[in-house]
C-alpha cells in the first residue's frame, strides 16, 4: 500500500511521535494551520470515517482519549481547541487515511483543519 500515513504509523517514514500505542499515533502536522496542529492517526488503514464500523468503537474511543490528553499536554484544554476529520475531496481530505486534526493555541477564526 502506498499510503503515507500507513508508512508513518508502521515506521517506514520516521517522524517524532507525540503519542504512540498499538492503535494510534500522533504527530505534528507538517503544514500547521494553528499554533498547535497535531494529527491523530489510526494504525489500521481506514480511508475515512465512513469506513468505521461498530467493531471500531475501541479505536474511536482511543482517538478521543489521546486527543484530550494531547490538548492537556499542549496547554490548550482550557482555552479551547477543535477536533476535525474530513471526508472526501470536497471536504478537503488530502490523504485517504482516516485522521483527526487537533488544532488550537490561538483564535481559530475560520481555520477548518485542511
Question: Is position 99 annotated as part of the catalytic site?
Answer: yes
Query: Using an 8 Å Cβ cutoff, are 66 and 16 in contact?
Result: no
3-state secondary structure of 102: strand
- Retrieve residue 42's grid coordinates: 489510526
Strand partners, 82: 103
What is the CB neighbour count within 10 angstroms for residue 8?
20
The single residue of 37, 97, 99, 101 carrying the catalytic annotation is: 99
| Enzyme catalytic residues | 99
Amino acid at each position: 500500500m502506498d499510503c503515507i500515513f500507513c508508512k508513518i504509523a508502521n515506521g517506514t517514514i520516521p517522524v517524532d511521535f507525540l503519542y504512540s500505542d498499538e492503535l494510534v499515533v500522533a504527530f505534528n502536522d507538517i503544514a500547521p494551520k494553528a499554533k498547535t496542529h497535531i494529527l491523530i492517526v489510526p494504525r489500521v488503514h481506514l480511508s475515512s470515517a465512513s469506513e468505521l464500523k461498530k467493531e471500531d468503537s475501541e479505536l474511536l474511543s482511543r482517538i478521543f482519549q489521546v486527543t484530550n490528553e494531547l490538548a492537556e499536554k499542549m496547554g490548550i484544554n482550557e482555552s479551547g481547541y477543535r477536533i476535525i476529520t474530513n471526508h472526501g475531496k470536497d471536504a478537503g481530505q488530502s490523504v485517504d487515511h482516516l485522521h483527526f486534526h487537533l488544532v488550537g493555541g490561538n483564535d481559530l477564526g475560520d481555520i477548518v483543519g485542511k
